[in-house]
Structure 1
Amino acid sequence: MRIALFGRTGQVATEVQRRLPEGATLEVLGREEADFGQPGQVAEAARKLRADAVINAVAYTAVDRAETETELAEAVNGGSVTALAGVCADMGLPLVHISTDYVFTGDGTQAWRPGDPTGPLGAYGRSKLAGEEGIRTSGARHAILRTSWVFSAHGANFVKTMLRLGAEREELRIVADQVGGPTPAADIADACLTLARGLAEGREGGTFHFSGQPDASWADFAREIFAQAGLPTRVIDIPTSDYPTPARRPLNSRMDCSTLEVAFGIARPDWRAGLREVLAELGAAR
């Protein structure tokens, strides 16, 4: 099976390259080959593909900066994704695309289902939703995988930030009223590869949710990081209102992942096990 991967150095893209199954080949397109700030360049690169399926792991993920870099966020997450999907439709290539919990309002406490009404709170979420809609209207066979709170041993993420701050401070104030599922990038990569193969074999796609379990607050997540890393850092729960940011965050990022398990046999991973693997890779495990 030939897979084209858009994205080279991000958390999920890195893991896709590391976890490619035996017998599969991978063509990796980084920014040099396809700059997602330029939708036309992305479409041109896509037309040259010789693949059985496409995975898009490129995204503009600077949630706060998106409020002032709106055009760039829209180009990367919206325009270029739409352009890629159009080419995939023309060429008959199935597309696996990673999206986010930020397409929802974050109201309530019930887990969001794939068909629930969307309502992004900020520019980042709106740009990701635009990409989703571009895919759905393109006619391309696709699987949109919404996920949340991604972490790995690579790049910038909450785990690495907590390890750094935990080594510097005795006490940290962490938001406790935002709840979601931390998700290891390695598990997202595995899910993307499974979806790519399934679509290439003619399985029906759609929009799916995938996040780690059990659901937790950021404060809960931090406590588990410190416990597994053997750091004595105390975590003080605070409300979101005590930690203002340029972009609003959804309070409820719980996601119902049952349709993905039914359709493709992909179960929610235990993020605590994934955390142990990440800490071991970083040399930070207790």
Structure 2
Amino acid sequence: MTVKELENKAKEIRRGILTMIYESEAGHIGGALSCCDILTALFYQIMNTDPGKPKDPDRDRFVLSKGHCVEGYYNILADKGYIRKEELKTFSQFQTRLIGHPNREIPGVEMNTGALGHGLSSACGMAKAGKMQKKDYRVYCLMGDGEQAEGSIWEAAMFASNYRLDNLYAILDRNTLQISGPTEQVMKLEPLKDKWQAFGFEVEQVDGNDMDKVLKAFDRLQKVNGKPKLILADTVKGKGISFMENNVKWHHGTLNQAEYEQALRELGKPDKGGEA
């Protein structure tokens, strides 16, 4: 897919996120919107996966460590054919599979996530297993910045560096806001790039809402051998919606009809010339 096609796909997924949260009256909308470009780049361009063979032993693995921002993930799985699109309407409803965090009942989901700080450790285990089995698959783990305060993140980082897991790609959705406020007020994290480099990671810091830059960052990291990698993605919480952007209120929130209609207007439809 071209960069324009990927940008249009991300716009389509964002519209799906809005509709899912509006109709279900539940969801973590701000973080789902901030990481949408990264998820789109991964699932439509970078990762080696096949919806027809979700358990292929040679598939790339993806772990959504920030499991509360699952709405974009579900929309992508439906768009790619892992689940039926009609099932998206059951999100957060009684007896649904599509609960507010990923779970392994759903094809394409590698592990249950939601307890923050656990995803990277599991991704390290998958990457280490791949090395032991002499497999070529890669493991991608998307983290939130709020969970960087968890000690388990840094234990996993030491493990990854110690075992030279160059098949591990961590991505940090750095939107600077968590449920209780700005990360630098809740628990100071900076200098994050220096910290991850000190833990032995090759780090690329990039605008995480710029599709072209995200793709180029992954391309550069794929050329690095002998050490784990991290994309430090500077993003905007609530990206694409004026009244949500950089507003901690929209970490978790639902839309009324007027807000929903305004958000759809602001987001717009994919450009016809590059629609995927």
The question of a shared fold, defined as TM-score above 0.5 by the shorter chain, is answered with no
Q: Which has the higher contact order (CA 8 A, sep 6+)?
A: 2
Larger Rg: 1
Calculate the TM-score normalised by the size of structure 2. 0.38
More strand per residue: 1
